[in-house]
Amino acid sequence: MTGARVLIVEDEASLAAVLADNLEAEGHEVRHAADGREGAFAWRDARPDLVVLDVMLPHKDGYTLCRERRQAGDDTPVLFLSAKGRPEERVEGLAAGGDDYLAKPFHLPEFLLRVERLLARSGALRAAGARLAFGGNEVDLRSFAARTADGRELTLGAREVGVLRLLARRAGEAVSRDDILDAVWGDDRFPSSRTVDNFVMRLRRYFEPDPSEPVHFHTVWGVGYRFTPEPERQARGAEEAERAER
């Protein structure tokens, strides 16, 4: 796989430069963050295909950063880099949500091979999930292009797609406004819960047959929102028809 977006979160500038040069030579687009706080922002902003994540970082360590992104519903593959290579430390990295763990020092060919394997594996998994279809609507979560059930062509904004992606990943669950703010805006912005409400209202206007009576984007009072790919009214109608036939 070539042309992937790779985020390197590494505070050792010389190592980050070497890794970036080699990844770019393989055809990848590389972004670098020098500490955990900058890495958190870059992770959300750049939408990488892979994160190369150092464990020991200023401001926020790699384990914490990875754990936070996983809790927010982000499944981007993570390759941990660490001077700590004992088995229990590798286990800790995997438990934090990492997909692979490479101890320093390492050979560049091994690093590049692990990167390609992670990208190939995640690419196969994501190919099917790059498009979201529900209620006659279709959204390409990579290009942000959408086609509504009534035939309108739309280009969504990054945060509209971020809200939709999170709700879709947790379909059927009540997702709190705080979870949405953390996952889509992060702690680098300070919107209110009303901001989330406004974005959900936009999604309703785009994709609901009747935005005043939503069948996909449901309000869970006192909590947040729940996404239902199959309209509940249709599901109830099918159940009633099935009971009538019995």
Domain spans, the chain: 5-127, 131-240
Cα 106-109-110 angle, rounded to 5 deg: 55
Tokens of 181: 């703010």
pLDDT for the residue numbered 161: 86
pLDDT digits (tens, 9 = 90+) for 165-223: 888 878 888 999 988 887 777 654 556 788 899 999 999 999 999 999 999 999 999 99
- What is the per-residue pLDDT for 110? 92
**Reduced to 3 DSSP states, what percent helix, strand and coil does the chain have, rounded to the nearest 5?**
45, 20, 35
Is 242 a residue whose pLDDT tops 50?
no
Helices (runs of H) and strands (runs of E) counted in the chain: 9, 12
Return the DSSP state at 93.
Answer: H
Q: Is 207 exposed, middle or buried (0-12, 13-18, 19+ CB in 10 A)?
A: buried
Q: What pLDDT does residue 97 have?
A: 83
Q: Please give the pLDDT value at position 146.
A: 93
Contact, 200 vs 163, CB < 8 A? yes
Give 192's contacts (C-beta < 8 A, 6+ positions apart).
none
Could you tell me how many residues make up the chain? 246
CATH 3.30.70.20 fits 131-240, yes or no: no
What is the reported pLDDT for 223?
92
Q: Model-level pTM? A: 0.55
Q: What is the pLDDT of residues 29-87, one digit of tens each?
A: 999 999 999 999 999 888 898 999 999 999 999 999 998 888 777 878 899 998 877 77
CB-side exposure of 177: number of CA atoms within 13 Å? 17
pLDDT in tens, 87-132: 777 778 888 888 889 999 999 999 999 998 888 766 644 554 567 8
CA distances (Å), origin 80, targets 114, 137, 170? 11, 37, 26
Q: Is the predicted pLDDT of residue 236 greater than 50, yes or no?
A: no
Mean pLDDT in residue range 139-162: 87
pLDDT at residue 159, rounded to an integer = 81
The rounded distance, in Å, linking the Cα atoms of 155 and 147 is: 9
Antiparallel, parallel or unpaired: β 145-147 and 137-140: antiparallel
C-alpha–C-alpha distance, residues 132 and 137, integer Å: 8
The CATH number of the domain covering residues in 5-127: 3.40.50.2300
pLDDT at position 61: 94
